[in-house]
Amino acid sequence: MTRPFASLPNKLYLSFLAFIIALLSQVTPAGATPPDLNGGVNNEYTYEEYVFLRGTPERFSGKVTKTESEQTDKKTTTYRFTLTGPTAKDKLTRSVSYVTDVKERLDKGQTTTQTTVKSYSEKITFDKKTFTLDDYQLSHGVISDNRPASDYYSGNMVGRKIYKTDNDTITVHFSGRNVGYENFWGATETQIIDYEMVSSQGTALITSKVSDSKTKTMKYEPHDPSLSSFTGGHAVISQRNMIGEYTYDIPYAAGTGTVNVGQEMVPKIERLIVPKFRDLAKHWAKEDIEKLYSLGIFDEKSSFFSPNTPMNRYKFTVGVLKAADVRVLEPPKNTRAPRKPVYADLDVKDPDYLYIESAVQKGITKGVTATKFMPKGSLTRAQAVTILIRALGLEHRAPTPGYKTSYADNSRIPNWAKDSVYVGTEIGLIYGDTKGRFNPNQTMTRAEASLLIIRYLNFLEKDLQQNYRDDMLFFE
């Protein structure tokens, strides 16, 4: 196979490939994290939260800034708030810095963090009464499972704040948890924190639930002029919003109730290249295939996609990694020794080779024998779903071995694929035929494989958000 830019010297070619990989990694969205631990939300312009120190919910809004500095195993995060309350005389200023110790276990594919308070100052003024933060203690631990297509994390926190006034001390004990995920197509973090506020007036109970969520969606945009070389194309819409609510029980003042907060940021639009295949006009998978081509997941040079021909193992594996923007290995630097492929029938000079090597090293796929990958071999349904579920890192969600899937041909499903088939069915990636069979050894066409990758993208974009935000906030 002739590589693109074959006329480039080998060293220059590897540098060019490294540049492309770096360029792709730059578009990965940063994680979604609610600002600090007060239940507040923000957009590009405004931040808002509720304060309960006087026994009633009082809305404060204004500006928040966040700065971060990172070292190899440590991160410092600083929040600064300048807010105004219900009246112009009500002011809140807060500055808090957290230090996070980071421990990476590359052998486990996991990361743990431990966060404590480094410094703090806070003053809340209501006309003639001022609350000053006298002490702030926090311990927040998080475990992150870093899977190829998505990171999943969960944390627990416990802390205490002590406020002083001229004639009283208010102690706020709090504990809570946060859960989240982050991938190329979205990121969500949901925090649920319970506060117990103790003062000379009595004890109040407050719960805040807040979620910060980012998503990318594809939308078809028609091109109306009739005298044009194309009829329309796709755009990627990046959106971010935060929603939350406080529930409170304050016997000595406001009683019980609920207040809500929410902010939404201005979407970002990125137009994509326009596909011009000539053999998809009436094909049932036309929309899915064109989406993947527009995203650069398929890079066919021909005007014909051949949707009904078999998908090969190489193209599908590369497509799955590109679809989720999975980080790939870097090309070797200044080495005279020739690079050896992970399997004898692979070509290290192929522009997509590093995707395959990365997939093998991450446990997403492997060869058909100890020495052969069979890159042009036809992809089976069992192989396809196994690649997807391992990329998501969900294969361990299957029951204890010895179970049966719901398919009539359960006995024909290879043992190495059974966990992935079970999980893939549970999350809606795959379905059986009209007779209840999975048909594990059936070859997938390029159209069928395209549909499967689109379902995989929908899971990363929509299903995870539903599970980590809506299910946590509204159905807990």
d(CA 147, CA 88): 49
DSSP 419: H
d(CA 42, CA 57): 18
Which residues lie below 8 Å from residue 220, measured CB to CB, with a gap of 6+?
A: 232, 233, 234, 287
d(CA 471, CA 43): 23
Residue 32 and residue 187 in contact, taking contact as beta carbons nearer than 8 Å: yes
**What's the mean pLDDT in 105-130?**
94
Cα dihedral value 319, 321, 322, 325, nearest 10: 160
Q: Which domains does the chain have, with CATH numbers?
A: 10-24+272-464 (no CATH), 31-269 (2.40.160)
- Provide the token pair at 381: 């349904």
Quick check: helix, strand or coil at residue 427?
A: coil
Give the ranges where 328-445 is alpha helix by DSSP (H). Answer: 353-361, 381-392, 415-426
Give the other-Cβ count within 10 Å of 205's Cβ. Answer: 14
Residue 289 and residue 450 in contact, taking contact as beta carbons nearer than 8 Å: yes
Give the H or E element holding residue 342: none
d(CA 431, CA 437): 9
CA atoms 430, 434, 435, 440: torsion sign? negative
Provide, rounded to the nearest whole percent, the portion of the chain with pLDDT above 90: 80
d(CA 400, CA 22): 40
Provide, rounded to the nearest whole percent, the portion of the chain with pLDDT above 70: 91
What are the tens digits of pLDDT across the range 58-108?
Answer: 999 999 999 999 988 999 999 999 999 999 999 999 999 999 999 999 888
CA atoms 222, 225, 230, 236: torsion sign? negative
What are the tens digits of pLDDT across the range 192-242?
Answer: 999 999 999 999 999 999 999 999 999 988 888 877 887 888 999 999 999
Q: Confidence band (pLDDT; 50, 70, 90) for 339?
A: confident
Cα dihedral value 141, 146, 147, 151, nearest 10: 60
**What's the mean pLDDT in 163-168?**
95
Q: Confidence band (pLDDT; 50, 70, 90) for 19?
A: very low
Is residue 388 predicted with pLDDT exceeding 50?
Answer: yes
341: left (phi over 0), alpha (psi -120 to 50) or beta: beta
Point out the least confidently predicted range of 213-217, 330-334, 403-407, 420-424.
Answer: 330-334
Which residues lie below 8 Å from residue 430, measured CB to CB, with a gap of 6+?
A: 381, 385, 421, 424, 438, 452
> Burial code of 141-175, b = ≥16 C-beta within 10 A, e = fewer?
ebebbbbbbbbbbebebebebbbebeeeebebbbe
DSSP 267: P
Report which of 408, 444, 438, 403 is spatially closest to residue 424, judged by C-alpha positions. Answer: 438
d(CA 6, CA 350): 10
Quick check: helix, strand or coil at residue 74?
A: strand
